[in-house]
C-alpha cells in the first residue's frame, strides 16, 4: 500500500542527526539575536504612532497655519463653564413664547480688518451686498478711550466706502475681542467719569469715520474678577450709552457680542436691563466643544440641537438652547442675533477605530492651528485626502475623520438648516464669525458645482431671506 509514498521517502538523503541539531541551535541563536535587535525599533515606532499619530498618508494644506487668539480664549472659557457645571441636573426648561414677526432679518458679519501686507482677505474682495451689517474687528479700550491705529484705520475707511455701493449696508466698529484679555474694559466701566470719557471717544469716532454704530465685545464681564459690581457697571455703561445716543443728531446702533453657555449668561449679564438699552445682541453660539485637558473628547463646534446622548449641562451646549435661554431671561427674540461659525475645530483621536462623537482625544489635530481651521483649508483637506464627511442629522452638523485626524465644521447643508431655524423661530437674524474664514479663495469648488466666493455665508443668506 502507498508504494509511491514509500518510494519517495526511501530515496531521500539520510542526515547526520548530530549535525542537524547543531545547525538548529545556531539558527535559534541567530533568530533570538535578530529579535533582540529589532524589538526596540519596532516598539519605538508603535509608541510614536500612538502618541503622535500616523500621518504619512494624510496631506495637509500649506495654508493651515493661522493662529486664532481671538477664538482660543473664548473656547477655553466655554470649556471651563462646561467643566464646572457638567453634573448640573436642574436645567431650566423653556416656556412657549408668542413669536412677534420680525420686520427684517439681519445678517451680521464680523470682519478682521487687514493690518499687514500678508495674504489675507482684502476689503476690495468683499461683496457689499452679502451682509446687512459688517462689524470691523477690533478696536481696543486704552486709557478709558476707544483706541485705533494704522493700518487698522486705513482699512476701516475703505470698508466704510462700501456703503457707496450698497446704501443699506451698516458698518460698525467692534471693540474688544477674545484675543484682548488684558483689556481696558474693567477700568473703563469702574465709575461714571471713566464711562463718560469712553462714550465721548466713541461718539467722536462714529462721526470721524462715518460709522453706523459700535459693537461691544467684552469677553467677559464679571468673570475671574474680585469686583463683584462689574456686571452692574457694564449695565450702567449700556444705559449711559443709550442716553448719549438719543442726544446725537444721527443716532447710531449699540450692540453687544455675548456668551452662549447658560452659566456664563447668568453670571455675566443683567439680561432684562440690557434689553432696554441695546439694539441687538450677537450670541457667540460656537466653540461649544473644544479640546482641552478637562474635555479630552471630540464634539461639534456649533450643534443646532443636543444629541440624545447629551444630558445635564452638556445638553445645553447647543445653538437652540442658548438662543432660547437668552429669550427666557428677558431678551426680545427680535434682538437675538444667533451666531454661526465659518471655521472648524480639529482633534487628535486616541484610537483610529473610535472616531465618532465624544471619541477620546489626545490633543488638537494637525490641521489648522490650536484646533482652529478655516473652511477653505477644510475643503482642501477633504478633497486632497478623498474624505467623505459624515452628516449628523440629529444635531444638524457634519464631521470628518481620517486616521488620527477628526474635524468638526459647517457646510452649506448645516448652515441652511440653522438659518431656516432662525427664520422659523423668528429670532432677529444670523451673525457670522467670520468673513475671513469662509472660502474667499475658491478652494471649495466641486466638479459641476460653482458656488463662488463665500459659499457658507451665501447659504445662510439664501435660507434666512427666503419665504417659509
Catalytic residue list: 219
Q: Which letter does DSSP use for residue 378 in this model?
A: H
Cell triple for 440? 474667499
314/310 Cα distance (integer angstroms) = 6
Cell triple for 429? 437674524
89/201 Cα distance (integer angstroms) = 46
189/104 Cα distance (integer angstroms) = 33
Q: How far is CA 391 from CA 343, 357, 396, 411, in A?
A: 16, 11, 7, 10
87/311 Cα distance (integer angstroms) = 9
C-alpha torsion 84→85→88→92, nearest 10? 150
- Residue 204 three-state SS: helix
Instruction: Please enumerate in sequence order all residues whose Cβ is within 8 A of that of 317, keeping only pairs 6 or more positions apart, or say none.
Output: 78, 82, 261, 288, 289, 303, 306, 310
Q: Which of 289, 287, 261 is nearest to 357 (CA)?
A: 289
337/19 Cα distance (integer angstroms) = 88
**Quick one: 44 exposed, middle or buried, by C-beta within 10 A (0-12, 13-18, 19+)?**
exposed
Amino acid at each position: 500500500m502507498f508504494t509511491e509514498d514509500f518510494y519517495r521517502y526511501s530515496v531521500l538523503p539520510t542526515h547526520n542527526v548530530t549535525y542537524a541539531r547543531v545547525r538548529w541551535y545556531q539558527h535559534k541563536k541567530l533568530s533570538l539575536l535578530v529579535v533582540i535587535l529589532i524589538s526596540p525599533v519596532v516598539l519605538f515606532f508603535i509608541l510614536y504612532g500612538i502618541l503622535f499619530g500616523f500621518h504619512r498618508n494624510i496631506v495637509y494644506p500649506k495654508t493651515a497655519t493661522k493662529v486664532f487668539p481671538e477664538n482660543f480664549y473664548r473656547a477655553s472659557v466655554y470649556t471651563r463653564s462646561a467643566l464646572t457645571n457638567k453634573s448640573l441636573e436642574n436645567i431650566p426648561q423653556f416656556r412657549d413664547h408668542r413669536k412677534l414677526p420680525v420686520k427684517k432679518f439681519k445678517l451680521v458679519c464680523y470682519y478682521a480688518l487687514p493690518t499687514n501686507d500678508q495674504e489675507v482677505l482684502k476689503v476690495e474682495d468683499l461683496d457689499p451686498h452679502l451682509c446687512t451689517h459688517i462689524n470691523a474687528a477690533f478696536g481696543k479700550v486704552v486709557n478709558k478711550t476707544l483706541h485705533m491705529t494704522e493700518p487698522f484705520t486705513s482699512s476701516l475707511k475703505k470698508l466704510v466706502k462700501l456703503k457707496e455701493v450698497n446704501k443699506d449696508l451698516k458698518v460698525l466698529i467692534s471693540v474688544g475681542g477674545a484675543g484682548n484679555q488684558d483689556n481696558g474694559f474693567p477700568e473703563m466701566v469702574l465709575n461714571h467719569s471713566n464711562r463718560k470719557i469712553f462714550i465721548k471717544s466713541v461718539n467722536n469716532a462714529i462721526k470721524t469715520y462715518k460709522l453706523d454704530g459700535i459693537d461691544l465685545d467684552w469677553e467677559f464681564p464679571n468673570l475671574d474678577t474680585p469686583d463683584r459690581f462689574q456686571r452692574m457697571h457694564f449695565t450702567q455703561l449700556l444705559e449711559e450709552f443709550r442716553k448719549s445716543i438719543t442726544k446725537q443728531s444721527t443716532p447710531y446702533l449699540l450692540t453687544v457680542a455675548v456668551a452662549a453657555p447658560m452659566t456664563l449668561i447668568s453670571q455675566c449679564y443683567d439680561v432684562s436691563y440690557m434689553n432696554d438699552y441695546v439694539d441687538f445682541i450677537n450670541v457667540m453660539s460656537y466653540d461649544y466643544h473644544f479640546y482641552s485637558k478637562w474635555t479630552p473628547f471630540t464634539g461639534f463646534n456649533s450643534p443646532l440641537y443636543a444629541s440624545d446622548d447629551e444630558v445635564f449641562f452638556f445638553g445645553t451646549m447647543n445653538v437652540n438652547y442658548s438662543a432660547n435661554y437668552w429669550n427666557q431671561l428677558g431678551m426680545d427674540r427680535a434682538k437675538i442675533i444667533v451666531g454661526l461659525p465659518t471655521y472648524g475645530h480639529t482633534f487628535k483621536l486616541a484610537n483610529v477605530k473610535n472616531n465618532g462623537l465624544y471619541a477620546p482625544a489626545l490633543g488638537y489635530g494637525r490641521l489648522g492651528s490650536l484646533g482652529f481651521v478655516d473652511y477653505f483649508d477644510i475643503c482642501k483637506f477633504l478633497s486632497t485626502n478623498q474624505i467623505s464627511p459624515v452628516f449628523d442629522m440629529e444635531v444638524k452638523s457634519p464631521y470628518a475623520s481620517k486616521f488620527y485626524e477628526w474635524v468638526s465644521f459647517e457646510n452649506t447643508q448645516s448652515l441652511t438648516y440653522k438659518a431656516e431655524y432662525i427664520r422659523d423661530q423668528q429670532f432677529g437674524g444670523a451673525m457670522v464669525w467670520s468673513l475671513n474664514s469662509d472660502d474667499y479663495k475658491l478652494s471649495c469648488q466641486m466638479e459641476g458645482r460653482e458656488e463662488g466666493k463665500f459659499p457658507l455665508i451665501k447659504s445662510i443668506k439664501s435660507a434666512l431671506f427666503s419665504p417659509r
